[in-house]
Amino acid sequence: NRRLKDRSLGLYSISVGVLSNLAVLAVAGEYRAIYLVFCVTPFLSAAFKLTLRQVAGLLGLSQVGHLLVIAGLWLAGQPISVGYELALWLVLSVELLVVSQVSISVAAMRRHLLAAYGEAERLATADPLTGVLNRRALFDSIDVALRDPEPRKGDDTVLALIDLDHFKAINDTHGHDIGDQLLVAFTAAVRANIRSTDRFGRYGGDEFVLFLRGTTRELAMSVFERIQGALAAIQLPGLAKPPSASIGAITVFRGLSVDEAIRRAEAVLYEVKRNGRAHAPIVDGDK
């Protein structure tokens, strides 16, 4: 088993166990009833790992193999009591059917646990309103990306801090429901204009972080422009003019922490807002 890629009791290792037990059955002689004890063990292990189809396949292997071993012993001239062997086979069939019921129950519990774990993981990493990465998951994701090998030569890593313009005024004037709708529509617009490998999450309130790895400044700027265009196309009841956002972006170099990268992007964002512009050219992070 230690030679296998999957060292847990998987299909192949349990199959070896079933075949080993059949070998015991072939050499046990008049003590073949001991096979009843050994045969169940692999199936108890299978209940915690395998699918129902795989368990059924192993049951078939065990039962057909049992009959073939007995037939081989009979053809070899060994004294065989057909009634005794048939009774042994039937008892074993009942045992394995009971074990298969355990497998069904365990498999159902495993499916429910995996679904619950997936939902818990999603809730732990997603912003409850917009569904994008929350702050903790966003920082962890970027931190992992920053430890990856550098992009190919000529590519950049860009981090952008995005702030919705006049969001507090929208909330105060039109209510938090409209503000929430704007956040949801904005995140949907951003996700439609970025790659699946890009990291995008909510930094807090109406501020979001977009992390683009393996891109160029020109491509990153085109992404910002598409986001601005998609944001301007959002129509919500009561809004007199299309929403907009300010974007401060920097290039990120290896060794820069997430907190420091966001702090530098925040300084660029404040400069952008002071100048009344949607976004400025991407600034070198080391400057």
pLDDT in tens, 107-136: 788 788 888 887 787 778 889 899 999 999
> Is the CB of residue 148 less than 8 Å from the CB of residue 169?
no
| 206 given a catalytic annotation | yes
Name the pLDDT band for 219 (thresholds 50, 70, 90).
Answer: very high
pLDDT at 187 over 70: yes
* Cα(272)–Cα(22) distance, integer angstroms: 76
pLDDT at 1 over 60: no
pTM: 0.62
CA dihedral (64, 38, 75, 29) in degrees, to 10, reads -170
Token code pair at residue 71: 């037939």
Give the range among 164-168, 221-225, 274-278 with minimum mean pLDDT. 274-278
pLDDT tens, position by position, 222-248: 999 999 999 999 988 888 888 999 999
More confident call, 45 vs 180: 180
More confident call, 267 vs 111: 267
> Is the CB of residue 159 less than 8 Å from the CB of residue 199?
no
DSSP string covering 231-261: HHT---TT-SS---EEEEEEE--TT--HHHH
pLDDT attached to residue 232: 92
Which of 148, 177, 206, 284 is catalytic? The answer is: 206
Mean model confidence pLDDT for the chain = 86
Q: Among 75, 63, 68, 1, which residue's Cα sits nearest to residue 36?
A: 63
Q: Phi/psi of residue 255, each to 5°?
A: 100, -15
Token code pair at residue 6: 């999957």
Q: Among 223, 244, 214, which residue's Cα sits nearest to residue 232?
A: 244
Name the pLDDT band for 32 (thresholds 50, 70, 90).
Answer: confident
Q: Phi/psi of residue 283, each to 5°?
A: -95, 145
* Cα(169)–Cα(174) distance, integer angstroms: 8
pLDDT attached to residue 149: 67
pLDDT attached to residue 189: 94
Strand (E) or helix (H) holding 204: strand 199-204
pLDDT attached to residue 137: 92
Residue 279: DSSP 8-state: B
3-state secondary structure of 133: strand
pLDDT attached to residue 212: 94
Q: Taking residues 62-75, what's their average pLDDT?
A: 89
Name the pLDDT band for 5 (thresholds 50, 70, 90).
Answer: low
First-residue to last-residue Cα distance in the chain: 55
More confident call, 155 vs 132: 132
* Cα(73)–Cα(79) distance, integer angstroms: 8
